[in-house]
């Protein structure tokens, strides 16, 4: 990492608005890590999920958003918990949650209401949604009760990067048993806080010109400074499949992560490619099983690779 890059990263953090409830977050985080990783009890993974926003005003009315439903992060979290990991789920407020991915948006009590017409199919559907929710709620409660899942929400790019830094520094002592699985869609461009207008941008005076600065790349700093021993998986999203693998391969070399998961927007639920120094592996959803998701196979492979990494780092 050039000192130029490090300078940019430092000035990004120095000029960021301070993280609210930082003490509270740190306390939860350290307690969670202590409980799960002391004595090498459990592996721990930070799953990032959802898109970051870039505010256009300090008292924000408008922002630029990055696409991500949070489904990948939520589904991956469930699979990591199943594989015995403790998960710090760093997610965008309002996006998909583990154990509730396929449920309707309506409030919990609506599950108890029958449709107006006594249509038997409707009633069965209501019941099956209720049962589904009940079972997943139980799994969620178990995961939280057993202290296997810590959920930390973010909205802006400022919050996301500050929280990622907190988590990475807190993971430092966990060493090779820790992992970063960076599925969040992170803004590449932003309005620096100091050059941002405080109040709502006025309309009615013609087109709006905004100059966006580049968000400094934190991945290299995470790898080299924050948590150098952690196993690190990043994602590459493209809409043009022709450039996807090339971009992912470049990211692998540039950021020195252990693997890059490459996905194309329209096929991301069916297929991803794990790009790493040991070659490219296509991972597909088992299409013969209707309930299967691509994350079932993806997480299995990632967990295997993490096991190899842990073994190798002990020798």
Residues that bind ligand 9Z3 in the complex, under the rule CB under 6 A? 68-72, 182-183, 185-186, 234-237, 263, 268
As measured in angstroms, the least distance from the Cβ of 263 to ligand 9Z3 is 5
As measured in angstroms, the least distance from the Cβ of 196 to ligand 9Z3 is 22
As measured in angstroms, the least distance from the Cβ of 232 to ligand 9Z3 is 12
Largest distance between two CA atoms of the chain: 69
Are the beta carbons of 315 and 176 closer than 8 angstroms?
A: no
Give the DSSP letter string of 272-287. Answer: EEEEETTEEEEEE--T
As measured in angstroms, the least distance from the Cβ of 8 to ligand 9Z3 is 16
For residues 33 and 222, which CB has a smaller minimum distance to ligand 9Z3 in the complex? 222
As measured in angstroms, the least distance from the Cβ of 235 to ligand 9Z3 is 3
For residues 111 and 179, which CB has a smaller minimum distance to ligand 9Z3 in the complex? 179
For residues 260 and 303, which CB has a smaller minimum distance to ligand 9Z3 in the complex? 260
For residues 25 and 248, which CB has a smaller minimum distance to ligand 9Z3 in the complex? 248
As measured in angstroms, the least distance from the Cβ of 115 to ligand 9Z3 is 30
For residues 177 and 260, which CB has a smaller minimum distance to ligand 9Z3 in the complex? 260
For residues 32 and 99, which CB has a smaller minimum distance to ligand 9Z3 in the complex? 99
Is the four-CA dihedral 87, 168, 172, 315 of positive or negative sign? positive
């Amino acid at each position: 990492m050039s000192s130029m890059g490090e300078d940019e990263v430092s000035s990004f953090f120095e000029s960021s608005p301070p993280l609210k409830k930082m003490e509270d977050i740190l306390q939860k985080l350290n307690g969670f890590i202590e409980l799960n990783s002391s004595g090498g009890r459990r592996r721990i993974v930070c799953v990032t999920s959802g898109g970051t926003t870039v505010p256009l005003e300090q008292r924000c009315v408008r922002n630029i958003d990055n696409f991500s439903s949070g489904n990948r992060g939520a589904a991956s979290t469930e699979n990591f918990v199943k594989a015995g990991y403790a998960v710090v789920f760093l997610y965008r407020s309002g996006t998909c949650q583990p154990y509730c991915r396929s449920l309707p948006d309506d409030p919990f009590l609506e599950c108890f209401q029958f449709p107006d017409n006594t249509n038997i199919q409707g009633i069965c559907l209501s019941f099956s949604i209720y049962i589904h929710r009940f079972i997943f709620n139980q799994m969620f409660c178990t995961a939280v009760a057993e202290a296997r899942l810590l959920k930390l929400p973010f909205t802006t790019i400022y919050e996301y990067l500050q929280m990622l830094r907190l988590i990475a520094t807190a993971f430092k002592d966990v060493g090779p048993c820790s992992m970063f699985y960076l599925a969040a869609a992170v803004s590449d461009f932003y309005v620096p806080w100091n050059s941002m207008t405080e109040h709502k941008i006025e309309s009615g005076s013609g087109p709006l010109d905004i100059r966006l600065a580049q968000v400094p790349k934190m991945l290299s700093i995470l790898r080299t400074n924050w948590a150098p021993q952690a196993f690190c998986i990043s994602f590459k999203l493209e809409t043009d499949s022709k450039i996807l693998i090339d971009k992912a391969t470049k990211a692998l070399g540039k950021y020195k992560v252990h693997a890059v998961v490459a996905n194309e927007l329209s096929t991301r639920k069916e297929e991803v490619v794990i790009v790493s120094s040991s070659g490219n592996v296509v991972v597909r959803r088992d299409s013969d099983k209707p309930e299967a998701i691509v994350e079932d196979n993806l997480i299995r492979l990632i967990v295997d690779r993490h096991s190899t990494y842990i073994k190798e780092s002990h020798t």
